[in-house]
Structure 1
């Protein structure tokens, strides 16, 4: 592909992207395909000779697109959003064209310095105090792994990386069962082991950790010769929005000298609205906080910010400085590869900078406030229907519900049939969860271009299909 071809196809791809976004409401949210359909449509062996771009692009439209779930669809109400605001997509075009490797200051000075500035913009936007610094990670999973590794190293007096875990005292990490499964993976990958992730009981509307039980577990483990290392709290857990009392958990962490990581991957975005910050009162007591602008704010995946109260411990855990990675002749610079598990780093800050400037904080606040109001409104409407019940009340824009089947109907099987019928219908997309051992259907509003009308469509679809089940 020469430069003229590159120009032509770049323009065509951009035009295609704009057309795609403008027609999303006409498409089913989830594709009507069976497992293996796409696989069987793709040639078994790679081509020996070059193929024309016209053919490649046509195959993309005819073979790939029909098998895609449309995450930018305004009626995507499943999981949590993975928004890509159009201005963020434009910034990603530029990032892809430059294809910079931004691991060190010297490998892209502007990328490093823009990251430092935009992370601090977000610190201010969320109301975090001065003194917190941070880094843009690829995802909350990586941020949590980095936090768990830091917990491990601090507890072991920095000997884990040097000596390994064999022969070391048994470490313990504490969380509720409301945290994301990325916490389990971090415990696995760090070598601490699943058996040493202590699940603390929860209670109340938001299924918060029982801090008395937390403290009792820490004391019991220490008395048994084990080594408590850290606590992982959550704000807006994936299942029903489980949210810990951060101030109370931080008090326990402080009394026992434990590292506190707070996972606010989804709900953290809402903290740009001052009226929602009560959900993480006491956050200034955390050592590490993660939230994903690529979820609710609209910065295209991947873009996850990890804030740190003490970056020195974090960098001491992760930094490796072979001679070929040193930046000579410069003092006080930041090499963000020392703040991340991967060495390679994309230029993630550019899309966040574009997004914040193009929409402004007030524009983003309006979007989030609308989503919360629309979700609360739908929860009220469903609760008033005689054959529906709320399972969990709204936490920001997330709640869960169940449909009551007839007498003698298996409630779990009935609601699984309902969520499958809804998703096969294609007008909206939902996911299920389990609450207190029973199946519930999750609903959250978070897509960047959703409207009140889209939420009305959700009500109509849910009630119509529920009553059509036999």
Structure 2
């Protein structure tokens, strides 16, 4: 029987220490059983129901009202994983998961997470974990080169640029917004020292598309910045004229335009803001241009898809999520700055306990993010880049896009449906045709179709609304996605559609 609470005495040092939970051999045995369980889970995950049959509050009946006073052994805990964790799990790695965007992951990445948790370093400064800082610096250069980003984003480039890993794209957007805000306020204070930062802040105005991710709007709320959602065109793209008109109107009213967030691969429909039109405007007006490529950025690994990012040369910051399309487990969001001094100016605090003798010569990533503490997230990225390789990652991206093209062709074979946006990457947006349903109730009926597929539970999908049109969006490219599974999904969708149309007496 394992000793789960044991005080040991080291006769050589006289040190007394308390080991709680497990001894070394206990951990070795438990880890073996857990790794076996993880492998079995991934081998069979697609046999599970993608979305569980649970209701809010279900967990209360599965666990005690309070934590145990005495330690429990691993076999007891292990035996409850299925009943407690799996019972209410949405299986993102299932071949039937087509919602949101496909989660990324791989065994190399999981190995990296295991090592990261074992090391336990907190790399807020170079001193706190030199390997954490320096491996991240090199890996962000590796990534920037792999994506063919402008050279000013490299740490070893000619300018002051460089990259950092944030937790999510939401954090990246907020960090860039706060950096841009600080950059905009500083010169205004020098013009009129009697002003306070709040006086200037209320004059600032930022812009993004009305199809951009909701995290951009959320960043504006957190930063107390007036963020305007500008109307996109019929393809979900923010155009230069729309932005320029908004800037002119705001400047006429005494406002200070300072930040634009342009999206490559919007969440709702995978649309692309027109960078070639937007970038010259931002450059002329001295406006910070952040590129949110959280989803689409992984596609830049493939030369044939780099056309989606034409016009990056005048951007101020760029972000994408390796944890979406690069087989790296959450959380790993790569963010680059053309000039890192702006984020450092906005985030830098320097109490004596954080100072060290290498300050000024080494990067301290605590000044590049909102929290002080940070995980050693680079190990899993390093493992994936080495054990999968760029060629393997390109093939992974290409497979996901080919799957989307396959589904697009299936949809086109049935005249009851329409594709609403070009299938450029791994997202297909479709709906039942309004003329089939009666234009006035088309959204209602398409919502019923979504709900019927969702409640069927064999597949997990998510809807969206763009330009007043309710649509169903299918995200391909997950680790276990396949054309065979998409064939099965389409068969189920057509069967559900038949029932829905018959019930409501719609015919074509």
Which residue in 2 is equivalent to 1:464?
495
Cα drift, residue 410 of structure 1: 3.5
Which residue in 2 is equivalent to 1:190?
223
Q: Is the 8 A contact 1:236 1:395 kept in 2?
A: no
Query: Of residues 92, 97, 102 in structure 2, which corresponds to 1:76?
Result: 97
Are 1:60 and 2:92 an aligned pair? no
Q: Secondary structure of 2:31's partner?
A: helix
Which residue in 1 is equivalent to 2:317?
288
Aligned-residue Cα RMSD (Å) equals 1.9
Query: Of residues 392, 396, 408 in structure 1, which corresponds to 2:425?
Result: 396
Which structure would you say has the larger Rg? 2
Which residue in 2 is equivalent to 1:202?
232
Query: Of residues 478, 481, 506 in structure 2, which corresponds to 1:450?
Result: 481
How many angstroms apart in 1 are the aligned matches of 2:60 and 2:101? 27
Which residue in 2 is equivalent to 1:362?
391
Cα drift, residue 329 of structure 1: 4.5
How many angstroms apart in 1 are the aligned matches of 2:470 and 2:217? 22
Are 1:273 and 2:306 an aligned pair? no
Cα drift, residue 265 of structure 1: 0.2
Q: Secondary structure of 2:80's partner?
A: helix
How many angstroms apart in 2 are the aligned matches of 1:238 and 1:395? 13
Which residue in 2 is equivalent to 1:308?
337
Which residue in 2 is equivalent to 1:93?
114
Which residue in 2 is equivalent to 1:426?
457
Q: Is the 8 A contact 1:32 1:424 kept in 2?
A: no
Which residue in 2 is equivalent to 1:181?
214
Which residue in 1 is equivalent to 2:59?
38
Which residue in 1 is equivalent to 2:130?
109
- Deviation by residue 1:349-378 (Cα, 9 ceiling, x = unmatched): 110110011111111111111211221121
Which residue in 2 is equivalent to 1:171?
204
Structure 2: which 5+ residue stretches go unaligned?
A: 1-21, 154-161, 190-194, 504-508
How many angstroms apart in 1 are the aligned matches of 2:402 and 2:437? 34
- Deviation by residue 1:35-54 (Cα, 9 ceiling, x = unmatched): 22223322122222222222
How many angstroms apart in 1 are the aligned matches of 2:245 and 2:470? 32
Which residue in 2 is equivalent to 1:153?
182
Cα drift, residue 110 of structure 1: 0.9
Cα drift, residue 331 of structure 1: 4.9
Which residue in 2 is equivalent to 1:221?
250
Q: Secondary structure of 2:420's partner?
A: strand
Q: Secondary structure of 1:260's partner?
A: strand
Which stretch of the first structure deviates more once superposed, 99-108 or 455-464? Answer: 455-464
How many angstroms apart in 2 are the aligned matches of 1:310 and 1:35? 46
- Deviation by residue 1:410-445 (Cα, 9 ceiling, x = unmatched): 432322222222223333211101122131100111
Matches within 5 A, 1:230-249: 230-249=259-278
How many angstroms apart in 2 are the aligned matches of 1:329 and 1:34? 53
Q: Is the 8 A contact 2:185 2:200 kept in 1?
A: no
TM-score, scaled to structure 2: 0.88
Are 1:441 and 2:462 an aligned pair? no
How many angstroms apart in 1 are the aligned matches of 2:360 and 2:227? 40
Are 1:381 and 2:410 an aligned pair? yes
Q: Is the 8 A contact 1:403 1:415 kept in 2?
A: yes
- Deviation by residue 1:381-411 (Cα, 9 ceiling, x = unmatched): 2122022222223131112111359656943
Highest relative contact order (Cα 8 Å, sep 6+), 1 or 2?
Answer: 1
How many angstroms apart in 1 are the aligned matches of 2:323 and 2:416? 36
Matches within 5 A, 1:323-334: 323-329=352-358, 331-334=360-363
Q: Secondary structure of 2:423's partner?
A: strand
TM-score, scaled to structure 1: 0.95
Q: Which runs of 4+ in 1 moved over 4 A?
A: 166-169, 404-409
Q: Is the 8 A contact 2:211 2:466 kept in 1?
A: no
